[in-house]
Amino acid sequence: MSVNILVFSGSLRKDSYNKKLARILSASAEKAGANVTYVDLADYPMPLFNEDDESANGIDSNALKFKQLMNQSDGFIITSPEYNGSYSGVLKNTIDWASRQAEGEGILESFKGKYAAIFATSPGAFGGLRGLSQLRLLLAGIGTTVLAEQIAIPKAGEALVADSDALVSEKRQQSVDRLVNQLVKTCRAMQD
């Protein structure tokens, strides 16, 4: 049975290290045999979540499109920049919108029973590690099982190949591939 993986980054910046990492992870998931959908959140702009707006206008149309992609997925690969020791505001806003119950949906349907592998990279020495711990708590709190291993890649400017979607270190690529393979295998096993 095929496994559907949704890959996205919590960054809107055009030349984001985390978007580059997400594309690398997409290729890794395809190599592992998954059907991969890579999404750039810049293509799904959403207003800041506000229940008053939702009550008056319903769930934002881009949020509904993104939720549909989530609902069709068995698992997620998420990369996140670290902003002030946490994940990005755009990632939180996207998750907040995706957590809303659309007509005909169960509560937290986009998240419950799903699996995630989380990654980060940053120019700093910790590679976004502090933000990953916060992201793990958020996802677990809304019903997504986050794999125990997570990968934070420090010194992104040196770790990522400048002019292509690749990691400089083959050893690091093997670590990334191992975690992505684990996600695909977990999703496949849970389908049975």
Domains of the chain (ranges plus CATH)?
4-191 (3.40.50.360)
Helix/strand/coil for 152: strand
Give the pLDDT mean for 75-94: 97
Give the pLDDT mean for 95-124: 96
Instruction: Write the CB contacts of 64 (distance below 8 Å, at least 6 apart in sequence).
Output: 102
pLDDT of residue 191: 87
Percent of the chain with pLDDT over 90: 96
What DSSP string runs through 24-68? HHHHHHHHTT-EEEEE-GGGS--PPP-HHHHHHH-S-HHHHHHHH
Give the pLDDT mean for 136-160: 96
Q: What pTM was estimated for this model as a whole?
A: 0.96
pLDDT of residue 179: 98
Percent of the chain with pLDDT over 70: 99
How does residue 150 score in pLDDT terms, banded at 50, 70 and 90? very high
Kindly report, residue by residue over 15-41, the tens digit of the pLDDT.
999 999 999 999 999 999 999 999 999
pLDDT at 192 over 90: no
